[in-house]
Amino acid sequence: MSAPKRDNARGQAGKVGKASHSTSVSLEEMAEIVKATLLKGKAVASADFDQQDRPTFIAAIAVLQDEIPALRHGWRTVGEHHIDGVRLRQRIYRLRGGH
């Protein structure tokens, strides 16, 4: 009997800024990508980016939190297993006030 498949959090979150695997996105580029996504009224999460770019995403969020006071974080449930009582959540960022 095989183990049950887990939900793929990355596939559920979607992709915002996909960089090629050979190059990494700079902090300035990442901040612009994240800011443009937020200004469109969408939520953004680290799972939206390649794994190699996630530290840059976190740094960009830190910069943007100083720049945009309305930037807030919340949580999105990306997987739930009621039998085990396990819930997989990810931190998302969005503008306060439904922008």
Provide DSSP, 68-84. Answer: -TTEEEEEEEEEEETTT
Residue at 17 is within a domain: no
Q: Is the residue at 57 inside a domain?
A: yes
Asked if the structure places residue 19 within a domain, the reply is no
Total domains in the chain come to 1
Residue 3 in domain: no
Q: Is residue 86 part of a domain?
A: yes
pTM given for the model? 0.69
Average pLDDT for the chain: 81
Domain range holding 70? 24-95
Asked whether residue 63 is assigned to any structural domain, the reply reads yes
Radius of gyration of the chain (CA): 15
Question: What is the pLDDT confidence band of residue 85, given thresholds at 50, 70 and 90?
Answer: confident
- Residue 83 in any domain: the answer is yes
What are the pLDDT digits (tens) for 44-64? Answer: 999 999 999 999 999 999 999
